[in-house]
Amino acid sequence: MAPENWMGYSTSTFQTCSLVFLLPTQAQLATSSCTLSGNGGLGCSLLNGIATSTTSYSNAPSVKNDYGVTIIAPGNSYSIATFPCPAGSAISFELKASGDIFLNYFQDYNPSPIGLYITKC
């Protein structure tokens, strides 16, 4: 639950955000590419701190909220979590493979987007 007054904004002005994972099929991609193999899913967590360019697996912030594992398949989008939008603040998430799943992708500016995004509901 958000504090009564967060960074000078009343909680009544807060918007709700959604964390989504997008995984188009290869046919939906213009010049990008995406390969998914194996069995399992993606585990997603909100971290207690901010990841930087020097963050690695061994020094990553601890998990604040574990959103569980989502089984993914090409051609789908997944809503991972909803939360109050963190206006004016940075937040970090961790994605981890669960099982023996392997996801490899290249994305450029052409349709369609691939990966984890925060959107305003």
Q: What digits encode the pLDDT tens for the residues 45-62? A: 999 999 999 999 999 999
Q: How many domains does the chain have?
A: 1
pLDDT of res. 41: 96
* Structural domain contains residue 48: yes
Q: Which domain holds residue 44?
A: 23-120
Question: What is the average pLDDT across 84-89?
Answer: 88
For the segment 24-52, the average pLDDT, to the nearest whole number, is: 96
What is the rounded distance in angstroms from the CA atom of residue 26 to the CA atom of residue 48? 35
Is 52 contained in some domain? yes
Task: Kindly report the backbone phi and psi dihedral angles of residue 2, in degrees, each rounded to the nearest multiple of 5, phi listed first.
Answer: -75, 145
In-domain check, residue 3: no
Instruction: Confirm whether 2 is domain-assigned.
Output: no
